[in-house]
Copies of this chain bind each other. A is one copy, B any other.
């Protein structure tokens, strides 16, 4: 198979390029150009995935790697309740990588973006003596919803998560559905005071909300929805499944606060005045330490 040269790869990408209603200059120029509605805020963010940290190129298919980096960024859109519009990507390929492998990475990016009508409108590819690294920058629009920040939680708000937690390392960290639909519905129908996507782990991401909102939290251990993978992993590690649900990270569910009683998600606790984070189990409250995920795989 031929080695992926930057120029061959770009020619191939161009040949696929589908148009997007807002895209006035597509891939192939120095920059892509998008039209923007005057009432829409432009939301921007970037996330990378690195071999040995966020995926393992010996284990995971290039298509799933491409999907993951796009989905991580789409999950950030969910966290702000914005609608993704377009993305650009970088790929740093190990020298000697076959062109077909590079194509699979790109098809993964596109497959994940397509689910939310988010085309890849630009990118940069290069080969090096280093390992595989990808990044995606995402552009979203507020689309009728004030972006939901991390800093708006107020004492008395309920704390919710959109799904069961823990054990994502068993497979879900590579294959998850960004909670964009849930986020938009929540933001349109309820008063959501703060929101974040669970990438670092519940204990750590809850801390982000509490620090930025200058509040505390009381979590009911028994209320946390436990993913079957947390139990499976617990059987292997010997650690309680609750610990996996609290600290594992890469759940990519949403953690949010609201004074309402939304029909989406599970209530796991309440925001408090005191700036400390407590876990209530068997009638007693303990300080909840943040042991979030930094380097999952390696």
Quote the shortest CB–CB distance from A272 to chain B (angstroms): 22
Is the CB of A34 closer than 8 A to any CB of chain B?
A: yes
CB < 8 Å neighbour of A31 from B28, B43, B86? B43
Given contacts A133-B133, A135-B135, A149-B25, contact A32 B52 (CB under 8 A): no
- On whether the beta carbons of A40 and B31 are closer than 8 Å, the reply is no
Contact A50 B130 (CB under 8 A): yes
Instruction: Please determine whether B25 and A36 come into contact, CB atoms closer than 8 angstroms.
Output: no
Q: Find out whether the CB atom of A48 lies under 8 angstroms from the CB atom of B135.
A: yes
**Interface 1/0s, chain A 122-141, versus B by CB < 8 A?**
11101111110101011110
Q: List 7 A-B contacts (CB under 8 A).
A: A30-B77, A31-B43, A36-B36, A36-B40, A46-B124, A48-B92, A53-B127
User: 19 other contacts beyond A36-B41, A48-B126, A90-B90, with CB at 8 A cut-off?
Assistant: A25-B43, A29-B147, A32-B43, A32-B44, A32-B45, A34-B43, A36-B36, A44-B88, A46-B90, A46-B122, A48-B92, A50-B128, A52-B128, A53-B127, A53-B128, A88-B137, A90-B135, A128-B131, A133-B133
**Which A residues have a C-beta under 8 Å from some C-beta of B?**
5-6, 24-25, 28-38, 40-48, 50-54, 76-77, 79-80, 82, 86, 88-90, 92, 121-124, 126-131, 133, 135, 137-140, 142, 147, 149-151, 196-197, 212, 294-295, 298
